[in-house]
Structure 1
Amino acid sequence: MVNLSSPSGQYPVGATTFVLPVRPTSTIGDSQRQVHVDGQSQLEPTLTLEEVAFTVYYPAVVDNNSKKGLDWLVRPVDKTLKGYEHFLGVKGFISASLYPLLYLYGRTIKVPIYPNAPLLNPNNAELRTSLNQGEPETNGAKPWPLVIFSHGLGGSRTTYSNLCTRVASSGRVVIAFEHRDGTSPAVMPKNPDTGKVKAKLYTQPEDVTWPNGKPSNPFALRLDQLEFRRKEIYLGYNAFKKFIQTGDRGELFVLDKDGKEMGGDDHETPAKKKGGECCWYGGKGVFDWNEWRNGCGGTEVRCEEDVTLTGHSFGGATVLSLLSSPAPDGYARIPISKAVVHDPWLEPLPSPGPTPYSPRLSSSTNRSSETINDAVIPMLILNSEGFTLWTDHFARLQAIAKGWGDAPIITLIRAEHTSFSDFPLLAPNSKSAKLLLDISGTLTMKFFEGHLDVDTGKGMEGIPRRKMEVEHVEPGKGNERGEGEKKQKRLVGDVGEVIVH
């Protein structure tokens, strides 16, 4: 078994995956993709919203019988591996000899947290104190703050587990979405109308067709996917809020460790029926919704205010898109108070912009500073080295940051685009990857807590800072340059240092 890093906060972490059927299903955009049904090839809409899925990471109640081990690679593994082939654009790349090794390795990767453990009730001061190694609660019982996370291209609801579990172990509830817009390696939605489950693999823009010809905007599919993601987030947030606040789960259901729907029990306690075996830990039998809520009375998760939004890459674009767009019809805006974006990918977003959305701006041409500032929320931008050296992209990022109240931009020297995810941790020598994740996690947490000030250095103690300088080095880390090869740009500095822009 391959275990990723355990969360370092004061609370044990549980994880439960919820799914909400969407009735009726809805289609976003008019693009189509080719599928095979009963041996026949046919076209279907690329973006059909059938279900909304998300894994919730949270402070959990555990005991001596609790078992750690959340599957990191989303099940079924064979579909996910096939989806990564699509993502990398190398269909059929995994050879017959290599496939069994990757399959077995993928099945063994575990996140060391507790699947389906009950939510820790923040009002249980005695339990919170004991979990905090005997330290008294100084602030009294407060609801768990809510964080919403959006993944990037090729990501999933588990590929950012290092960040999500760290945030949850600090005393927050994180909703990590599994976007079913063709950007996850593989998802298994069930059509609510037919009841059929089918795999949907990663979709490349060149895999889709357009009935009226190829659109002039090269990011037309990405724009539709952003709309799809915004709807997923609103639907998922509202369903989870309703369940937490009232106990009414509606049509929500939970996935077991194999990615299949678990039976639900809203009345009896499985532990009693099974002679003390807590079936919510092992994923056996039914899922007890009341036990999971653990006596919560509706105010234990802070859903009505101070929600934090965060995302990586295309997930960062999703954050900016959501904050600059009105809520879908029939929904109130999510009460987001701050946002953190990791390496936001800006190309799919309309330019100029995006700018903060305000309902008053949508009905008036009066764009006074006072009105615009009403819509601005605090934002932190963390960048990898490559995204900062991407000159045009970084210039646009700086302009966007200025429009969001001069949001601070911090570059992590030697960080790569994947450094904000779990992927680098899978490498045998991941010392640098762990350091970069620790720095990005620390900065993110300090910002969440309101303890980060880049001007004074508050919250950045122990993180070396330097000015931005660019150098040109030989390719291959000092190897002799081949004929025709150019020197590569990189930032002056070492792993662990940051630049504040």
Structure 2
Amino acid sequence: MTAPPQASTKPLRKSAVKPRKTLRELFLHRLPHYNGPYNVGYMDIEVPVRNPRPVSDLRRNGKPVLRLDTVLMGIYYPCDLQSHNGAGKPHRVDWMPRPRAATAKGYAKYLHIPALPVTAYLACTSLYTKLPAFRNAKLAAHWPEDIRNDTGPTGQKAREEEENPTSRPKFPVIIFSHGLGGSRLCYSSICGELASFGFFVIAIEHRDGSGARTYVSLPSNVEAAAIESSTADLHTNNEGKEHTSDKKVQRRRKKGVNPYYVMDYILPKDNAQDTSPHNRRGVDHILRSAQIELRQEEIKEAFYILNLINSGRGDEVASLNLRKKGNIGSSSIGLNGVDWEDWKDRMFLSKVTMMGHSFGGATTVQICRDDSLTWLGQGIILDAWGQATPPGGKTLKERITKPIISISSEVFMHWKDNFDKIVEFSNEARDSGALCWMLTVVGSTHLAMTDLAVLYPQWMSILMKSMVDPLRAVSLTTTASLEFLKIILPPEQTKYNMWADEKLLQSAEPPSEPEESLRSDHAPDHKWVAVRLKIPNEFTVRLRVWVRRTWRFIVCTGREVADLSGGLQDFGQKDEIWTHMCPTHEAVQEHLNQVR
């Protein structure tokens, strides 16, 4: 007679636990909890690259402009707070990258605003904001609780695996590329939301001079003289840039702290406003192409690190990690408490998704053209800066051949040159036979997909005339992305999904021409193209929304109301997304039949 299986000491299915609000969050700006069935963990990893070197032939003052020394990434992942066995309770993650005050000064420099008022304002609002994510929390080894109610093949398969005490879920991987002025943390609303639905999201902090400020740590065996760059100089120069002198390097080495250099935003040469649609000189393609080249190399290095972790060599990665106690920009926790055995064979490293916003969207387009990346499966392009996207080549190997979805803001769709570029690379994918969607979130502005819109909704509404609720904009972006991945990813990566699905990709038939789905109701005046929308009868619209919110607040006292946080669009309005391009239902079904 067969003995019944012993009950596991840890349940294999659990629901997410909402983090408690901190005292600061009662008064200061805060980020909302994620909506998926998993809690979210986070860790910082910075390791030296295999071949440190200058990247591209771009030079200034006779020196290389861009260098590849280390790769820095923030990893958002599904975690299990109930089974965390580290030293004490896991700590929530700071939203502003460390060192916070110096990073705030970097943003001031990027925006050409005096540092003192910027730092003071951030200190009063979001400088100490915490992510609803936990540093180094235990990687989830359970399936979502709600899946037990699934009576279909997915639930049946989950129940069969539950009987095997050694089985653990394996999660798909997304690599995220930030835009100009961005960092690994300023898209946490999207990255964390995707992680809460069961993804590893690898947010790379690029060292290509596209971020406001980033700190590049160096191994202790690297000499200052080995760093030859016009922008990453370890010596104090005449311009007073924040770099490290030889004496400071020696003092830090005596204290056991590795040297570092600061990489601030790099202005295009003789063309400071190349991002503006009114710039007569156009985009500085020499600089932007060099930056994309460096970004591609960083992405390849990041994937190499993921391979090491997934193959059971996480301890080796931890031993190389430069984000540890004492080093610049690091949490004192470092990677303490991480059980790397839990991470072995937990990632799907085939059909990896590339995702990026703005300049990161341009990076995603170019990555999806790289035929040598056999592990890359598809791309999610968020409000791409189409003008910075290199043109596709004439041969199939130089063009997009992977499925893509482009989700743009309305403000960028009214920028005709940019819209035409999005159409161009979307057609490039469609002509190769790949599935392609091109969507716009109605009433949104360029920052709607960043944490800034969530933290400062009133400023987004007043200054940029954003009309969509920022939380709804994030929800539409992540839901459309999840629906896309549910179609594109192979069955073994989606069989346990509890992903959000509003059937956004099935809501409309494709128009004959992408321009036919555009509307001009909110089209701005020429001088505000790509910056802000236009709200007809703005005073009346805002007054009506204020009255509606006030009434609902009174009537719904004690209950959460979805549209009290911001946004001028009526939630009852059905037209939340414009569909400019999408495959036919027959093409989608044919793809599903092929992968399954």
- Match among 269, 273, 295 for residue 342 of structure 2: 295
Task: Report the Cα offset of residue 496 of structure 1.
Answer: 6.2
Corresponding position of 1:444: 481
Task: Report the Cα offset of residue 388 of structure 1.
Answer: 1.2
- Match among 154, 158, 161 for residue 185 of structure 2: 158
Corresponding position of 2:554: none
- Match among 414, 423, 435 for residue 443 of structure 2: 414
Distance 2:196 2:452 in 1: 21
Task: Report the Cα offset of residue 323 of structure 1.
Answer: 1.6
- Match among 45, 61, 75 for residue 80 of structure 2: 61
Structure 1 residue 387 corresponds to structure 2 residue 427? no
1:185-196 aligned within 5 A:
185-192=212-219, 193-194=222-223, 195-196=258-259
Task: Report the Cα offset of residue 13 of structure 1.
Answer: 0.6
Q: Which amino acid aligns with 2:359?
A: F
Task: Report the Cα offset of residue 395 of structure 1.
Answer: 1.8
Structure 1 residue 348 corresponds to structure 2 residue 375? no
Distance 1:283 1:237 in 2: 26
Distance verdict in 2 for CA 1:84–1:133, change over 3 Å: same
SS of equivalent residue, structure 1 residue 182? coil
Corresponding position of 2:464: none
Cα deviation per residue 1:333-357 (whole Å; 9 max; x = unaligned)?
Answer: 2512221101111222333x26896
Which sections of structure 2, spanning at least 5 residues, go unmatched?
1-23, 159-167, 224-257, 273-280, 461-467, 490-500, 510-515, 526-533, 539-568, 581-596
1:319-358 aligned within 5 A:
319-325=364-370, 327=372, 333-351=373-391, 353=392, 358=397
- Match among 78, 87, 102 for residue 79 of structure 1: 102
Task: Report the Cα offset of residue 21 of structure 1.
Answer: 0.8
SS of equivalent residue, structure 1 residue 107? coil
Distance 1:388 1:217 in 2: 18
Cα deviation per residue 1:232-278 (whole Å; 9 max; x = unaligned)?
Answer: 0000111121122122534641635997587xxxxxxxxxxxxxxxx
Q: Which amino acid aligns with 1:319?
A: T
Distance verdict in 2 for CA 1:138–1:222, change over 3 Å: farther
Cα deviation per residue 1:18-65 (whole Å; 9 max; x = unaligned)?
Answer: 11112542112344568xxxxxxxx85321111100011111121386
Q: Tell me, yes or no, if the aligned pair for 2:352 and 2:376 is still in contact at 8 Å.
A: yes
Q: Tell me, yes or no, if the aligned pair for 2:484 and 2:505 is still in contact at 8 Å.
A: no
Distance 1:459 1:238 in 2: 35
Q: Which amino acid aligns with 1:202?
A: Y
Distance 1:169 1:316 in 2: 23
1:269-280 aligned within 5 A:
none
Distance 2:326 2:411 in 1: 37
Corresponding position of 1:434: 471
Cα deviation per residue 1:345-399 (whole Å; 9 max; x = unaligned)?
Answer: 1222333x268963xx7xxxxxxxxxx8xx7221111111122111122123212
Corresponding position of 1:148: 175
Q: Which amino acid aligns with 2:519?
A: E
Corresponding position of 1:115: 135
Structure 1 residue 199 corresponds to structure 2 residue 245? no
1:455-474 aligned within 5 A:
459-460=503-504, 467-471=517-521
Distance 1:471 1:261 in 2: 45
SS of equivalent residue, structure 2 residue 469? helix
Task: Report the Cα offset of residue 402 of structure 1.
Answer: 1.4
Q: Tell me, yes or no, if the aligned pair for 1:150 and 1:318 is still in contact at 8 Å.
A: yes
User: Which one is further off, 61-70 or 112-121?
Assistant: 61-70
Q: Which amino acid aligns with 1:246?
A: G
Distance 1:155 1:217 in 2: 19
Distance 2:475 2:140 in 1: 25
> TM-score of the superposition, structure 1-length normalised?
0.74
- Match among 143, 155, 169 for residue 128 of structure 1: 143
Q: Which amino acid aligns with 2:504?
A: M
Task: Report the Cα offset of residue 471 of structure 1.
Answer: 3.7
Distance verdict in 2 for CA 1:113–1:97, change over 3 Å: closer
Distance 1:146 1:132 in 2: 22
Alignment RMSD:
3.7
Task: Report the Cα offset of residue 186 of structure 1.
Answer: 1.3
Q: Tell me, yes or no, if the aligned pair for 2:483 and 2:505 is still in contact at 8 Å.
A: no
Q: Tell me, yes or no, if the aligned pair for 1:72 and 1:111 is still in contact at 8 Å.
A: yes
- Match among 16, 22, 26 for residue 49 of structure 2: 22
Distance verdict in 2 for CA 1:478–1:397, change over 3 Å: closer
User: Which one is further off, 311-320 or 470-479?
Assistant: 470-479
Corresponding position of 1:231: 297
Q: Tell me, yes or no, if the aligned pair for 1:463 and 1:496 is still in contact at 8 Å.
A: no
Corresponding position of 1:102: 122
Corresponding position of 2:310: 244
Identical-pair percentage: 25
Which sections of structure 1, spanning at least 5 residues, go unmatched?
35-42, 122-126, 210-214, 263-281, 328-332, 362-371, 481-490
SS of equivalent residue, structure 1 residue 246? coil
Corresponding position of 1:366: none
Distance 1:458 1:61 in 2: 27
Task: Report the Cα offset of residue 294 of structure 1.
Answer: 4.7
Distance verdict in 2 for CA 1:356–1:386, change over 3 Å: farther
Structure 1 residue 500 corresponds to structure 2 residue 579? yes
Corresponding position of 2:14: none
Task: Report the Cα offset of residue 307 of structure 1.
Answer: 0.9
Distance 1:84 1:335 in 2: 35
More strand per residue: 1 or 2?
Answer: 1
Q: Tell me, yes or no, if the aligned pair for 1:20 and 1:51 is still in contact at 8 Å.
A: yes
Which is higher, the Rg of structure 1 or of structure 2?
A: 2
Task: Report the Cα offset of residue 283 of structure 1.
Answer: 5.0
Corresponding position of 1:266: none
Distance 1:472 1:287 in 2: 50
1:361-376 aligned within 5 A:
376=401
Cα deviation per residue 1:432-478 (whole Å; 9 max; x = unaligned)?
Answer: 111111111111111112289xxxx9722897999432247787745
Distance verdict in 2 for CA 1:45–1:54, change over 3 Å: same
Distance 1:383 1:252 in 2: 38
User: Which one is further off, 435-444 or 460-469?
Assistant: 460-469
Distance 2:522 2:39 in 1: 46
Q: How many residues align?
A: 422
Distance 2:265 2:395 in 1: 31
More helix per residue: 1 or 2?
Answer: 2
